[in-house]
Structure formats: C-alpha cells, structure tokens
Amino acid sequence: MNSKIKTAVKALVSTMFFIVLMTNAATAQEKDKATEGAKVVTTQMKSQLALNDSQYTKVMDVNKTFLQKAAEAEKGTTNATEKAKKIKMFTDERDSKLKSVLTETQYKTYTANKAAYGKKFREFYQ
C-alpha cells in the first residue's frame, strides 16, 4: 500500500509540474505576441506620427502594456459586455498616456487614425 501511495504522489507531482510548465510557456507566448504587436503598431505610428526616438520608446511601452492587458481580458473574461468594458478602460488608459507623450499635432493625427490602430491591435490580442 505504501508503494502505491508513493507512486500516486509521484504521478501527481509530475502532473502538477507539467501544468506549471505549460502555463509558463503560454504566458511567455502571450508576452511575445504583445511585444510583436507593439512593435508592428508602434513602427506604423512612428512613420505616420514622425515619432522621435524617445517618443518611440515610450509609445512602445504604452502599446505593449495595452496589448498585455487586453490579451488578459480577452482570455480571462467570457462575458462579452465585461470584455468590452475592460478593453474600453485599457484603451482610455492608453490614450491618456499617449496624449502625454505626443505633441498636440501628433495626437490629432493619432486620433484620426485610431480605428486603423485599433484594428491592428485586435490582431494581436484576440
């Protein structure tokens, strides 16, 4: 009986270890996808908004954070209304941060192209 318990415990520990490994791998993939998406959108913004190097770095950070939060909301919430509220909140937060980084002219151009940026962002968090 004692050996059966040891075998069962070993199997349980192995299974738990595998689950932790897979969870970490999935989280790393999401972060990589957020980084990739932030690069794509920020590069597009750099050319359309004529971002300088300092702005590019800050906008990249803002976009990456937005994509990570949006991806978490997308996978963590099944209620469509709740998802939409969270994404709206993260979008407003992103816009507020971008407004502090961009010049007034750049921000106006950003808002004019916001729908296109949003479409591109969705490719990376849905």
114-125 and 2-49 helices, crossing angle to 10°: 160
- Residues with Cβ within 8 Å of 97's Cβ and at least 6 positions away in sequence, in order, are 62
- For the chain, the domains span 31-125
Cβ-proximal residues to 71 (8 Å cutoff; 6+ apart), any chain: 30, 33, 34, 124, 125
Give the model confidence (pLDDT) of 20-29 as tens digits: 545 544 445 5
Could you report the per-residue pLDDT of 44-101, keeping only the tens digit for each?
999 999 999 999 999 999 999 999 999 998 888 788 899 999 999 999 999 999 999 9
Structure tokens that stand for 119 in this block: 């479409």
Condensed to tens digits (0 to 9), the pLDDT of residues 3-19 reads 777 776 666 665 555 56
